[in-house]
Amino acid sequence: MATNTLKYYQNLTLYEIYVRNHGPNGTFSDVTADLERIKELGVDVIWLMPIHPIGEENKKGELGCPYSIRDYREVNPEYGTRKDFKKLINTAHSLNLKVMIDVVFNHTAHDSVLALSHPEWFVRDENNNPVSTVSDWSDVVDFKFPNPLLEDYLIDTLTMWVKFGVDGFRCDVASLVPLKFWLQARKAIYLINSEIIWLAESVDARWIPERRESGYKINSDSELYSAFDITYDYDIWAIWQAAVLGKVKTSNYLDILKFQDSIYPQNFIKLRCVENHDRKRIMALSQSRSQAIAWTAFQAFNKGAFLIYAGQESAAQKIPSLFDVDKIEWGKYELQDFIKTLVLLKKDQAEVEGKFSLINSESGIQATWIEKEGSLYGIFNTDNSNENISVSLKDGSYENLLSGDTILIKDGKTQMPDSAFIIRYLDSIVVEPFQSALFDIK
User: So what's the pLDDT on residue 2?
Assistant: 43
Structural element, H or E, at residue 142: strand 140-142
Nearest to 415 by CA among 429, 405, 427, 428: 405
Mean pLDDT of 347-366: 94
pLDDT at 402 over 60: yes
**Strand-pair partners of 414:** 389
Looking at residue 442, what is its pLDDT? 52
Residue partners of 386: CB distance under 8 A and separation at least 6: 415, 416
pLDDT tens digit sequence for 302-341:
999 999 999 999 999 999 999 999 999 999 999 999 999 9
Q: pTM for this one?
A: 0.96
Q: What is the H or E stretch that residue 231 is in?
A: strand 230-232
Beta carbons of 439 and 316 less than 8 angstroms apart:
no
Positive or negative torsion for Cα 68, 70, 72, 73: negative
CATH of domain 7-347: 3.20.20.80
pLDDT at 427 over 90: no
User: For position 6, what pLDDT does the model report?
Assistant: 47
CB 181 within 8 A of CB 227: no
Model confidence at 35: pLDDT above 60: yes
Mean pLDDT of the chain: 95
Share of the chain above pLDDT 90, in %: 92
How many of the other CB atoms lie within 10 Å of CB of 400? 15
Share of the chain above pLDDT 70, in %: 98
Q: How confident is the model at residue 196 (pLDDT cuts 50, 70, 90)?
A: very high
**pLDDT for the residue numbered 7:** 61
CB proximity list for 8: less than 8 A, separation 6 or greater: 352
Please give the pLDDT value at position 429. 83
What digits encode the pLDDT tens for the residues 205-259? 999 999 999 999 999 999 999 999 999 999 999 999 999 999 999 999 999 999 9
Please indicate whether residue 36 or residue 6 has the higher confidence score (pLDDT): 36
pLDDT digits (tens, 9 = 90+) for 258-311: 999 999 999 899 999 999 999 999 999 999 999 999 999 999 999 999 999 999
99-110: b or e for each residue (b if 16 or more CB lie within 10 Å)?
Answer: bbbbbbbbbbbb
pLDDT at position 437 is 76
Q: What is the pLDDT of residues 377-396, one digit of tens each?
A: 999 999 988 889 999 999 99
Which pLDDT band, with edges at 50, 70 and 90, does 430 fall under?
A: confident
Tell me the C-alpha distance between 81 and 395, whole Å: 60
Q: At what angle do helices 336-345 and 289-301 cross, to 10 degrees?
A: 30
* pLDDT on residue 438: 74
Average pLDDT of the residues in 99-118: 98
pLDDT reported for residue 5 = 42
Residue-wise pLDDT tens digits, 144-192: 999 999 999 999 999 999 999 999 999 999 999 999 999 999 999 999 9
pLDDT at residue 8 in the model? 81
Instruction: Centre a 10 Å sphere on the Cβ of residue 237 and count the other Cβ atoms it contains.
Output: 17
Whether residue 425 contacts residue 431, with contact meaning beta carbons closer than 8 Å, is answered with no
Q: Which string of DSSP letters, residue by residue, matches 193-224?
A: -TT-EEEE----TTHHHHHHHTT-----HHHH
Largest CA distance in the chain: 74
Q: Is 197 exposed, middle or buried (CB count within 10 Å of its CB: 0-12, 13-18, 19+)?
A: buried
The reported pLDDT for the residue numbered 250 is 95
Let me know if domain 356-425 sits in CATH 1.20.1260.10. Answer: no
Q: What is the pLDDT of residue 310?
A: 98
Whole-number Å distance between alpha carbons of 265 and 387: 38
Contacts of 144 (CB under 8 A, 6+ apart): 121, 122, 123, 124, 150
Find the mean pLDDT for residues 58-77.
Answer: 97
CA atoms within 13 Å, Cβ hemisphere of 409: 17
Burial-class residue 442 by CB neighbours within 10 Å (0-12, 13-18, 19+).
exposed
How far is 440 from 402, CA to CA, in rounded Å? 34
Phi/psi-derived region of residue 66, left when phi > 0, alpha when psi is between -120 and 50, beta in every other case = alpha
Mean pLDDT of all residues in 9-14? 96
Asked if the model's pLDDT at residue 1 lies above 50, the reply is no
Q: Domains of the chain: which residue ranges?
A: 7-347, 356-425
d(CA 176, CA 302): 28
